Amino acid sequence: MPGTGTNQGGAKVQPEHMKLYYGRLFPHQTMYKWLAYGNDYARSKHPKADRSFFSRREFCFTLDGDIFVRYQSFKDAEEMEAAIKQKCPAKIDIGPVYNVDPRKRAAYSGGSGGDLSGAGGLRAFQPVERELVFDIDMDDYDDFLNYTHKDHGWEKCWALMAVAIRVLDRGLREDFGFEHIFFVFSGRRGIHCWVCDKRARMMTDEQRAAVANYFSLCRGREGGKAKVMLTSPRHPSVQRAAEILEPIFVDEMLPAQGLLDTSESWEKILEYIPDGDVCDKLRERWQNGRRSSTSAVEDVNKSRWLELCKEVDRCVGRTKDPMKRRQLAKCKDEIVFAYTYPKLDIEVSKKRNHLLKAPFCVHPKTGRVCVPIDPERAEDFDPDRDAPTIFQLLEELDSGAERTSMSENVELFEDLFLKGLSRSTQEELAAKTREAVGMAVDF
């Protein structure tokens, strides 16, 4: 059937599955409470609530047969829920908040932005607000791995997603001061990050690109290796990231991926060492199966990494050329960052009008729900265990369970993220009221 997906067990997600999911499990009210950002005038009656805010948000529905229906919008939670239940989209993407209701965009010049022009002098249709978002896809790590997610599942790979969450979460909070951040398993190959502070939502495209570039230390490949943008000495943000990455690289990725097991794999790592003698010495030792007599590490990958570090450090100590010494001093960092630092799809982050899959969607190919992840426990998350499939959830409903696995995920989203965001949006509305009262008094 066109537009249906296959999960890992071989079952296909059918429209009737989605009808039950949207009818009984999808958290319509929770999603509305998030995306309204306190502007639910019908419920709160707050005088400073923007009655048009939610209706200016774009939704995109992917219908059966891969039919994309963009510029959907809804006046309130009830209209959104009714439309979702009626159309049963295979996927829901969330877009920006525009200056006008997306359904009325045809009345504006060009329908997609531009200068102030057009019939009647109406403003151009353009995005004015959008969460700062990040997308990390496991496929972008494949060139560095011996055991990819595609061929071997998450067991040998999830540590890379967990460490990406930790690096991004700390950087966004400590370097940019953002507070309202949540992470979501994408349902198949990676993770999404949503930054929902007012300051983040109001960023221009240029500001978004600057933040994305700040976190983009690995930029393509050059000369057979990753191009890693590091300075010496380490920038404080790089130092923080290194402290997160190094233990994961040494203790988890090296042995799990067998990165120094074979000549084919270790040659990729030796490419980063700018000294032929060091590479030859390590290569000869490893080819002969010898280990350092001082190494107490049992795993051959970790043992060889310690040997590599020792030889590089020795070479740094005897090298007189300052440029080469700097290159040698940072080559270990380059290896660690090339293999483990978050690989962002920065194009997703740079533009306000970019669509991103909504949390709690069902991935049409795997049947897994896009569930939130606690950044403090990211390493404990197991996509195969903790992201329920639609089939699992429907079985739980059929069994008469009062609570399903979905209930825990919705509660996690509300407790970790939505409660704090709601307090913040109420404070913003109260501040607007105080400001208005102050202006009236001054007048």
pLDDT given for residue 310 in this prediction: 97
Domains and CATH numbers, the chain: 15-98+130-213+345-442 (3.90.920.10), 229-340 (no CATH)
pLDDT given for residue 271 in this prediction: 95
HSE-CB at 303 with a 13 A cutoff on CA atoms is 15
**Cα–Cα distances in angstroms (integers) from residue 283 to residues 195, 279, 302, 388, in the given order:** 45, 6, 15, 46
The 10 Å CB-count burial string (b at 16+, else e) for 334-362 is bbbbbbbbbbbbbebbbebebbbbbbbbb
- Is the pLDDT at 111 greater than 60, yes or no? no
- Has 76 been annotated as catalytic? no
pLDDT given for residue 116 in this prediction: 36
- Has 261 been annotated as catalytic? no
pLDDT in tens, 171-200: 999 999 999 999 999 999 999 999 999 999
Give the chain's radius of gyration (CA, Å): 25
Strand, helix or coil for residue 92:
strand
pLDDT given for residue 10 in this prediction: 60
**Cα–Cα distances in angstroms (integers) from residue 252 to residues 201, 248, 339, 380, in the given order:** 36, 5, 12, 14
- Has 252 been annotated as catalytic? no
- Is the pLDDT at 259 greater than 50, yes or no? yes
- Is the pLDDT at 291 greater than 60, yes or no? no
Least confident of 217-231, 306-320, 333-347, 424-438: 424-438
Catalytic residue, chosen from 50, 58, 169, 311, is: 58
Least confident of 24-28, 111-115, 202-206: 111-115
Q: Which of 198, 206, 228, 223 is nearest to 130 (CA)?
A: 198
pLDDT in tens, 307-356: 999 999 999 999 999 999 999 999 999 999 999 999 999 999 999 999 99
d(Cα 232, Cα 212) in Å, to the nearest integer?
22
The structure's pTM equals 0.90
d(Cα 315, Cα 312) in Å, to the nearest integer?
5
Task: Provide mean pLDDT across the span 211-240.
Answer: 89
Beta-strand ranges (E) seen in 276-386 are: 356-357, 372-373
Catalytic residue, chosen from 137, 311, 333, 334, is: 137
Q: Report DSSP letters for 43-66, one per residue.
A: HH--TT--TTTGGGEEEEEEETTT
**Cα–Cα distances in angstroms (integers) from residue 121 to residues 106, 117, 118, 124, 125, in the given order:** 14, 5, 5, 9, 12
pLDDT in tens, 389-420: 999 999 999 999 889 999 999 999 999 999 99
Task: Provide mean pLDDT across the span 48-57.
Answer: 92
- Is the pLDDT at 43 greater than 90, yes or no? no
Catalytic residue, chosen from 40, 131, 135, 334, is: 135
pLDDT given for residue 436 in this prediction: 67
- Is the pLDDT at 118 greater than 70, yes or no? no
Cis preceding-peptide flag for 233 (omega within 30 of 0): yes
In the DSSP assignment, the letter for residue 8 is T
pLDDT in tens, 357-394: 999 999 999 999 999 999 999 999 999 999 999 999 99
